Amino acid sequence: MVGFEPTRAYAESQDAQDELGAFRQEFVITEPELIYLDGNSLGRLPRLTEERLQTAVHEEWGEGLIRGWNANWYHAPTRVGEKIARLVGAASGQVIVSDTTSINLFKLVMAALKARPGKRQIISDTLNFPSDLYVLQGCIELLGGQHRLELVPSSDGIVPDLAALKSLIGADTALVTLSHVVFKSGYMYDAQAITEQAHKAGALVLWDLSHAAGAVPVELDAWEADLAIGCTYKYLNGGPGSPAYLYARKELQDVLKSPIWGWWAQREPFAFELDFTPAAGMNRFLVSSPPVLSMLAMEASVEVLLRAGMRRLRHKSEKQTDYLIELSDHYLAPLGFTLGSPRGVDQRGSHVSLRHAEGYRINRALIEAMKLIPDFRAPDNLRLGIAPIYTQYVEIWEAVQRIRRVVVEQIYEQYSAERLAVT
């Protein structure tokens, strides 16, 4: 960072200049001394979400009862999808909210493979979130084992081997599916370049935006992306278990065939016809009644992000992740920490991984003794998620000091290396 100084005063000066600083007051923060850098497995609660849920529960449900469906609920998957579309660079009619990330991945993978008959290769990478790989493996088994999954390697666990990826894409490639921002290291793909290369080979491309949307610019239409999925409980601050979303390029929608036929995907669901006819457009990827309260909660949080604007959010994210890395170089590298994320901001999302041999016990000590909540990703990654809409520079500075103290004072030695269920 220009003018970087490893001092608290410098952090405070950056906060004073922060054009997004006022947005922090729009989130519920009951423990000001608690620093929340969870990697965004769960974002903070927006105050607007609280208000919307109170209205939904007391007025729409409590007073309106079944009338709530016609008043506000029935079209929520489409309405909220349109708002998310603005965050991911998609024109109207291409994003819908439905089910979970894994279920949406299953639906789109099966549809994509059916749309590329005769092609047998699926490409992903060893840096992908394991759940995505499990879904791909399951799809292959369901389709009779005719397809093969090939994974792009990584020599350092941080960045993929892009030369290997280029060499893998060929005439037999049906689908390339990758995370735009890698969950462990935060590496960010050049999505447009990879999409273009895959299209030259006649393959479809599916992007997982779970660690990207709401933190980095996503331009699905500009990339000419085919398909995308993403969760909403990370940077979108949708709440625990909030529903996911999926994107399908307009030209593909009526070509793709979802493998799950539910009544919400029926052309006329309230005609109660016995034979299934898929709805036009994105509705064909719905299945059944949505989790209304979760969807309304997430809708409110998306509106907050839209007001902040992705350009401003990304600018702050770049500055704050750079700042964290510089502080780590100054205070933590002498203590055995190494950077587990790309240094170049153009290759990095909004979380930073710091590697240490005692990463797990350090993580536990920070959570249980230091009022700092990061998260841990095996084998040695202390992951620090920066949500630019509410994270302060002074929190980043203080977090590094608390990490340093845990190591210098050997506080982590008080904690077992036995893994807890959720880390």
- Check 44, 116, 119, 234 and give the catalytic one: 234
CA 31/CA 246 separation, integer angstroms: 35
116 catalytic per annotation: no
d(CA 243, CA 231): 7
From the candidates 18, 99, 125, 208, give the one annotated as an active-site residue.
Answer: 208
Catalytic residue (choose from 27, 183, 189, 233): 233
CA angle 160, 161, 162 (to 5 degrees): 100
Candidate list 119, 355, 383, 404, residue with the active-site label: 383
> How far, CA to CA in Å, does 204 sit from each of 141, 146, 178, 224, 394?
20, 18, 12, 10, 44
Residue 226 is a catalytic residue:
no
Q: 208 an active-site residue? A: yes
Contact 187, 181 (CB under 8 A): yes
Catalytic residue among 10, 36, 129, 187: 129
Active site residue 383: yes
Helix axes 310-327, 292-308, angle to 10 degrees: 80
Tokens of 4: 């970087």
The Cα 69–Cα 81 span in angstroms is 17
CA 372, CA 35: separation in Å to the nearest integer? 5
Look up 119 and say whether it is catalytic. Answer: no
Residues labelled catalytic: 129, 208, 233-234, 383
